[in-house]
Amino acid sequence: MRKFIRGFVFAFRGLIACAKEERNFRFHLVVAFHLFVYLPFFTLNRAELCVIIILCGMVIALEAVNSAIERAVDCTREISPMAGAAKDMAAGAVLVAAVVSVIAGIVLLWQPAAFAAILHFYLRYPAAVPAQLLLAAAGVWFVFFAREKNQ
C-alpha cells in the first residue's frame, strides 16, 4: 500500500515540476482554467462536457509527456539526430492534440446565445470586468513570468 501511495506522490511532484518549470504546460493550464470559467454559459450535454474534459486532459497530459521526453534527451551531452527527432515528434503530438481540441471546441462551443449571455453577464455585473481582467493578467504572469527551469 505504501508503494501505491508513493506513486501518487511522485506523480503530483511531476505535475508540480511541470507547472513550475514548463511555460507551455502553464499555458495549457491557464487556457483550460479560463475555458472552465466560461463553460457554465454554454449549453452542453454530458457527452459534450466529457469530450471537453477529456481533450483538456489529453493536451495537458501530452505536454507533460513532451516535457519528460525533452528532459530525458537533454540529459545527454550530445543530442543525436534520433533524439532530436524524438523531441520534435513529442512536440508534434502536443500540437496535433491542441489543434484537434481547438477545432472540437469551436464545434461544441460555437453558440451565439452563450456569447450573448456572457456579454449580458458583464453588462449586468460590471464589477466582474476588472475581476476577469485581473484573472487574465494573472494568467499571463503565470505563463510568462513564473519560475522556469533556466532561471
Q: Convert the pLDDT of each residue in 40-53 to its tens digit.
A: 999 999 999 999 99
How far is 120 from 69, CA to CA, in rounded Å? Answer: 45
User: Does some domain include residue 151?
Assistant: no
User: Does some domain include residue 150?
Assistant: no
User: Does some domain include residue 20?
Assistant: yes
Positive or negative, the CA dihedral 76, 81, 83, 87 is: positive
Burial of 28 (0-12, 13-18, 19+ CB in 10 A): buried
User: Does some domain include residue 67?
Assistant: yes
**Of 72, 55, 62, which is closest to residue 93 (Cα–Cα)?**
62
Report the predicted TM-score, pTM, of the whole model to 2 decimal places.
0.90
Give the tens place of pLDDT for each residue, 63-116: 999 999 999 998 887 778 888 899 999 999 999 999 999 999 999 999 999 999
User: Does some domain include residue 123?
Assistant: yes
The fraction of the chain above a pLDDT of 90, given in percent, is 87
Q: Which domain covers residue 75, as residue numbers?
A: 2-145
Residue 24 sits in a domain whose CATH number is 1.10.287.3610
Number of domains within the chain: 1
User: Does some domain include residue 56?
Assistant: yes
The fraction of the chain above a pLDDT of 70, given in percent, is 97
**Of 88, 92, 55, which is closest to residue 70 (Cα–Cα)?**
88
Higher-pLDDT residue of 77 and 130 is 130
User: Residue 53 corresponds to which amino acid?
Assistant: I
Whole-number pLDDT of residue 149: 55
Q: What is the mean pLDDT of residues 105-134?
A: 97
